[in-house]
Amino acid sequence: MTVDSNIPSDFSQMMTVTRYEFLKYLRSRRLLGIFVLEFLMIALIMVVPPALGRDYPDDPAEFSQLFVQWVWFLIIVGTTLLASDSLVSEFQNRTGYLIFPNPVKRSVLFAGKFLASVGIISAALGIFYGVSSVLVFAVRGSLSELTASSFGLAILFAIAAVSVAYLISAVMKGSTGALVLTFALFFPILLIADGILTFAKVKPDFSISFASGVINYIMETPYPKDFVQTINLPGGGVFEIANYYPEVTTAILVAIAYSVISLLLAFIIFSRREMAA
């Protein structure tokens, strides 16, 4: 038997990397923090309406939308905490000196880490959708089939967000910088850019944060359409406010484009990056 025959296959090595990354996530306080955040979001959504003397929506889809509208924020937090430093940590913590000399291809290491990141964030989303759906069913006795569509779109945009985070992680020098830049990019920077473009009546179809709105709007029947609101100003003149909504097909293509381009660039940079002295 040759030495090479004792080396596990690439697929086997990838699954080993994924398994150990999963174990690392399960032992981390970051994952616990995401579960706490989910619990608080669900508790507030269930408690606030009765506390204000309001009943829950009669339509199961409208009721579920109270939860779904926060899914993109949950993806941002999950991506920041569980994916943004996955690659850079090997260089910052010097663990690459132990891992890279082993007979494990960087492509295998990259794929294993990516699968683990997407898997753990998908599991967190599954728990959020699952618990919220149980509550909606318990209160209204039925569920909207649109919830499954929203969950599928949430997984797709989680993959896109993790891909962008991996690109950031591949180029940054430290974990803190990667965490801050990932959260800042998704939360204030892109949201501000979307707002400025909308104010200028330019539809930001290319923006991943704008396209992610499809996760929420898919719950509405009929699906909302773009319109321009005209406000008459005192003393004459009018002011126009554009209201844009992402098209479902365009949003899916945007998520796929962000995933493919970001992952390709991240892998090229990661595979060529050398350990600093």
Local confidence pLDDT in tens for the 277 residues of the chain: 455 557 788 899 999 999 999 999 998 899 999 999 999 999 999 999 999 999 999 999 999 999 999 999 999 999 999 999 999 988 887 787 777 777 888 999 999 999 999 999 999 999 999 999 999 999 999 999 999 999 999 999 999 999 999 999 999 989 999 999 999 999 899 999 999 999 999 999 999 999 999 999 999 999 999 999 888 887 778 888 899 999 999 999 999 999 999 999 999 999 998 876 5
Q: What is the pLDDT of residue 150?
A: 98
CA gap 126, 28 in Å, rounded: 19
Q: What is the pLDDT of residues 170-183, one digit of tens each?
A: 999 899 999 999 99
CA gap 64, 60 in Å, rounded: 6
Q: What is the pLDDT of residue 239?
A: 83
Residues in Cβ contact with 206 at an 8 Å cutoff, skipping those fewer than 6 apart: 254
In the chain, beta strands by DSSP E: 227-232, 238-243
Q: What is the pLDDT of residue 1?
A: 46
Q: At 114, is the secondary structure helix, strand, or coil?
A: helix
**Cβ–Cβ under 8 Å, residues 165 and 83:** yes
- For residue 4, the 8-state DSSP code is G
- For residue 224, the 8-state DSSP code is P
Directed axis angle between helix 175-184 and helix 71-82, to 10°? 170
Q: What is the pLDDT of residue 92?
A: 84
Q: At 113, is the secondary structure helix, strand, or coil?
A: helix
pTM: 0.92
**Cβ–Cβ under 8 Å, residues 207 and 188:** no
Q: What is the pLDDT of residue 277?
A: 54
